[in-house]
Amino acid sequence: MKNFLILFILLSTFGFSQELDWDKSKSFDVILNIDKVYTSDGVNWEVTISGQAGPYGMGYGTITFKNFATDLQQSDYNGYFWTQVGDKIFRGSTNGLWKKEGKTYKTYAYDNDIVGGIINLAVGNWDFVAKKASFTVAPLK
């Protein structure tokens, strides 16, 4: 039964992953400031970010980096964001994975624009020493 479950998960992953299609013609880059980093439990880390978020205008977010791995080299994260362009407000959530690569952290995420009904794929690079997070973002077709 265990082998069947593993086979099912592998086949499902390959089948659905081939259907993901970025709309590269609508991609944009974002560079955000890392404003604050803190922990309340010594395991998970809260990060607040802000800055211009491409077509989404001025943005603010809170991200929780989770540390389930014992070697602190990779795990998952989730968070929420809020942006404004003129009088239009966008809000949403982000869920993804992080991996330490040298002095920076690489992230891969789905960002859910709740107001616009768009799911964006975001690939990021976090430099906690320079206090900057940069992303390439593109909507799913």
Identify whether 12 is part of a domain. Answer: no
Identify whether 4 is part of a domain. Answer: no
Written as six digits, the tokens of 102 are 């040298």
Please state the domain count of the chain: 1
The backbone region for 7, taken as left when phi is positive above 0, alpha when psi lies in -120 to 50, beta otherwise, is alpha
State the pLDDT at residue 83.
Answer: 94
Identify whether 16 is part of a domain. Answer: no
State the pLDDT at residue 5.
Answer: 42
Which of 105, 102, 29 lies closest to 74, judged by CA?
Answer: 105
pLDDT in tens, 99-114: 999 999 999 999 998 8
Contact between 126 and 133 under an 8 Å Cβ cutoff? The reply is: yes
C-alpha span between 52 and 13 (Å, rounded): 34
Identify whether 8 is part of a domain. Answer: no
Contact between 61 and 53 under an 8 Å Cβ cutoff? The reply is: no
Size of the chain in residues: 141
> Which residues have a Cβ under 8 Å from the Cβ of 76 and sit 6 or more positions away?
66, 68, 95, 96, 97, 98
Identify whether 39 is part of a domain. Answer: yes
State the pLDDT at residue 24.
Answer: 76
Q: What is the DSSP letter of 69?
A: S
Identify whether 81 is part of a domain. Answer: yes
Contact between 126 and 104 under an 8 Å Cβ cutoff? The reply is: yes
Identify whether 14 is part of a domain. Answer: no
Q: Name the residue range of residue 51's domain.
A: 23-139
pTM, entire model: 0.80
Identify whether 13 is part of a domain. Answer: no
Which residues of the chain fall short of a pLDDT of 50?
1-16
